[in-house]
Homo-oligomer: A and B are copies of this chain.
Amino acid sequence: MFYHVKELQYTAKPSQPDPVYAKKLQEVLGGQFGEISVMMQYLFQGWNCRAEGKYRDMLLDIGTEEIGHVEMLATMIAQLLDGAPVQDQEEAAKDPVIEAVLGGMNPQHAIVNGLGAQPNDSAGYPWNARYTIASGNLLADFRANLNAESQGRLQVCRLYEMTTDPGVRDMLSFLIARDTMHQNQWMAAIEEIEQTQGSIVPSNFNQEYEKQDVSYSFMNFSEGEDSSNGSWANGPTLDGQATFQYVQHPQPMGQKPTLQPGPASLHGTNP
């Protein structure tokens, strides 16, 4: 169960309105790696968690924090939309700067949301639940989380460079710092699990059942062998079980497929 306090986790006040930037900032609110994604991902991982209690607690801690990040971004976007030129289009057409703002802002911010934030990304595409990763395997999911915080911090840093508004930058500097923490957090959690279980997900699938002669081979399917110079093609494998092999000319190992004719009742094309 949840409680809310009115104060934001950190200040979210732009120095001045900027409706075009409001559109861009939607990316880290409702995009694939926006705050809604991590909020939902951590909460569902927590609620579905069948592992020991500290993982569930930790997931609900961070998931709850992320609801507050969604709140900060929504609040910021609503304020960036203040004063957007939503009227007098005829006048606007005479002023290329205003016209450019009208062209560059998301029309739904005015028509649909009345100058409010929306749970969409910067292309206006709605957030959807296929972004949420919760597999029940914590090593897999913590890797998903480390990726989410990496893509997320990258996007926030890009957005930081795209504005000079001190108020916006101040809020983003907070989110960037939290993403630094969260990358560290997931790296620590991953290391902790890898040390006891090994690094291949899932660790408890009997490796005898896999086709082991291709388990450590890098296959060169594109012309040119620059790829042979990587750490993925030489030396010990990261799971500590073998040595990387470089297969210069990978050959097919399977059949040339032919399918049987289909049943007459499906009216497909048969030989």
B6 touches A222 (CB 8 A): yes
**Smallest beta-carbon distance A87→chain B, Å:** 4
Q: How many chain copies does the complex carry? A: 6
**Smallest beta-carbon distance A157→chain B, Å:** 4
B238 touches A58 (CB 8 A): no
**Smallest beta-carbon distance A103→chain B, Å:** 3
Given A116-B48, A143-B146: A216 in contact with B184 (beta carbons within 8 A): yes
| Bound complex: CA A124 to CA B224 (Å) | 34
B87 touches A9 (CB 8 A): no
| Known interface pairs A2-B71, A64-B221; 5 further A-B residue pairs with C-beta atoms within 8 A, sorted by A's residue number | A2-B65, A36-B129, A51-B270, A58-B226, A176-B205
Of the four ranges (under 10, 10 to 19, 20 to 34, 35 or more), the interface on chain A belongs to 35 or more
A1 touches B71 (CB 8 A): yes
Residues A241-259 near B (CB distance < 8 A): 244, 250, 252-259
Query: Which of B96, B128, B134, B254 sits near A7, CB closer than 8 Å?
Result: B254
| Bound complex: CA A74 to CA B127 (Å) | 20
| Bound complex: CA A253 to CA B100 (Å) | 36
A223 nearest in chain B by CB position: B5
Query: Which of B100, B223, B258, B260 sits near A100, CB closer than 8 Å?
Result: B100
